[in-house]
Amino acid sequence: MDDDALSRWTRAARDAAVQALALLLPVACAGCGLQGIALCAACRGRLAPVPRRRVAGDLTVWSGLAFEGACARALRALKERGRTDAARALAPALREAVRAAVAGAAPPVVAVAVPTSPAAMRRRGYRVPELVARRAGIRTARLLVLARSTGDQRALGRDARARNVRGSMRAHRGAAGLAVVLIDDVLTTGATLAEARRALEAQGARVVGAAVVADTPLRSGTADMPGSADRGGAVSGTRIASGGTESDEWMDSA
């Protein structure tokens, strides 16, 4: 069995196990905790994408939602409690953020997710940005790898975060000449995305922007709320490619 087949089998087995557990264990809304339903109608409405733009350093990042309320709880459920079903609920937010991030860029654009640490992969069994992207119908190319381990970012301030991740990634040589949109789950200070961009551009890629499911309350930089004139409000028209091959399926439901 090749790696792709094994990966598909593992995902199918994991999804089947989650569905089986749902029959045996009480289920609660990932957004508010309401018993008896995986995602209630009210939280589904709260997770409707409201794309907004933020400049982190000199990188333009689009987010589908603010990291608060139902969105924050659903992301924590996905990242900390194994609620892989929450990825589907969060997928529209990432899809709309990617649309905005690549608007105006000449196709093809390759979607590259920020790499997951080995420790997080062992703990969860899946890569959060890639899983949400897959549920959004976006193919991602693994052009980034971790060059060294980093400390936990959560307790660090802006400058410490930047120092913590500096030089922590490297890009494959195949990135040379590609136009890339970076993908992650949450934007805080932008340090991780900045490091990903550095690594890709060191190999000759061109990062056209970044997209995340959600951003935390703004700490610095500028933000444009929905309805702004940035990019003329255009958020569609560019397809995403994987590994340099243009894909017509990046917007398909998954």
Which has the minimum average pLDDT: 43-57, 117-131, 136-150, 176-190? 136-150
Query: Is pLDDT larger for residue 35 or for residue 18?
Result: 35
* Confidence band of 218 (pLDDT split at 50, 70, 90): low
**199 token code pair:** 């690594």
Percent of the chain topping pLDDT 90: 55
* Confidence band of 34 (pLDDT split at 50, 70, 90): very high
The model's pLDDT over 189-200, given as tens digits with 9 standing for 90+, comes to 888 899 999 999
* Confidence band of 235 (pLDDT split at 50, 70, 90): very low
CB contact at 8 A, 61 and 29: no
* Confidence band of 168 (pLDDT split at 50, 70, 90): confident
Percent of the chain topping pLDDT 70: 67
Residue 71: count other Cβ atoms within 10 Å of its Cβ: 24
Classify residue 148 by burial, with Cβ atoms within 10 Å: 0-12, 13-18, 19+.
Answer: exposed
Mean of pLDDT values over 6-23: 62
Give the chain's mean pLDDT: 80
CA distance 228 to 122: 41
Query: Is pLDDT larger for residue 249 or for residue 149?
Result: 149
Mean of pLDDT values over 92-101: 98
**134 token code pair:** 């897959």
CA distance 103 to 99: 6
- The closest of 79, 78, 54, 56 to 64, measured between CA atoms, is 54
96 half-sphere exposure, CB direction, 13 A CA radius? 18
Residue 247: predicted pLDDT: 35
> Is it the case that residue 50 has pLDDT exceeding 50?
yes
Query: Is pLDDT larger for residue 165 or for residue 203?
Result: 203
Which has the minimum average pLDDT: 91-105, 157-171, 214-228, 238-252? 238-252
Residue 137: predicted pLDDT: 97
> Is it the case that residue 117 has pLDDT exceeding 80?
yes
Residue 23: predicted pLDDT: 54
> Is it the case that residue 250 has pLDDT exceeding 50?
no
- Element (DSSP H or E) covering residue 22: helix 3-24
* Confidence band of 246 (pLDDT split at 50, 70, 90): very low
CA distance 70 to 46: 7
